Amino acid sequence: MSDKTVIDGEGLILGRLSSMIAKRLLSGERIELVNSEKIVVSGARKMLIDREKEFLNVGGFTRGPIHYRQPHRIVRKTIRGMLPHRKAHGREAFRRLKVYIGVPDEYEAVEKETFEKIQASRLSKRYLTIGEIAENIGWKK
């Protein structure tokens, strides 16, 4: 099953989307995720931003861990956390993933898959997009 799937991340919940993508990557599928800055995380704005800023203070300047501020990198690292990335099959699965900010020109006309069950509109509480979080922790568009 090596066919390529394009998934539109707009309005989808980060954790649920990441677990679905991780499972599909492990089964051998190639996945291209577009609109990564429009993926949402549930919770109060101040709490989410404070948690991310606190996380940036962990680690050292030269040796890591490395903390990303770009939305596509944040999403990639979340998906990596759901893969056995220290084992060979997990590394291979992670290489089959591509994450983009916005929609690249070659995917404009391609039919994109989305998931109705994990839409943010189904949430009863507040949420924030990855793009908004990234801007608040130092990402410059």
* Per-residue pLDDT reduced to its tens digit, 13-47: 999 999 999 999 999 999 999 999 999 999 888 88
Q: Is residue 66 scored above 80 in pLDDT?
A: no
When pLDDT is averaged across residues 79-93 and rounded to a whole number, the result is 97
* Residue 51 belongs to some domain of the structure: yes
* Residue 141 belongs to some domain of the structure: no
pLDDT tier at 124 (50, 70, 90 boundaries)?
A: confident
Q: Is residue 1 scored above 60 in pLDDT?
A: no
CB within 8 Å of 67: residues ≥ 6 apart: 55, 56, 58, 59
Question: In the 8-state DSSP scheme, what is residue 119?
Answer: B
Share of the chain above pLDDT 70, in %: 99
* Residue 40 belongs to some domain of the structure: yes
CATH number of the domain residue 68 falls in: 3.90.1180.10
Q: Is residue 2 scored above 70 in pLDDT?
A: no
- Domain assignment of residue 51, given as a range: 4-136
Indicate the number of domains in the chain: 1
When pLDDT is averaged across residues 122-141 and rounded to a whole number, the result is 89
DSSP the chain: ---EEEEE-TTBBHHHHHHHHHHHHHTT-EEEEE-GGG-EEES-HHHHHHHHHHHHTSSBTTTB-----SHHHHHHHHHHTTTTTTSHHHHHHHHTEEE-SS--GGGSSS--B--GGGBGGG-SS-EEEHHHHHHHTT---
* Residue 74 belongs to some domain of the structure: yes
When pLDDT is averaged across residues 78-98 and rounded to a whole number, the result is 97
pLDDT at 38: 96
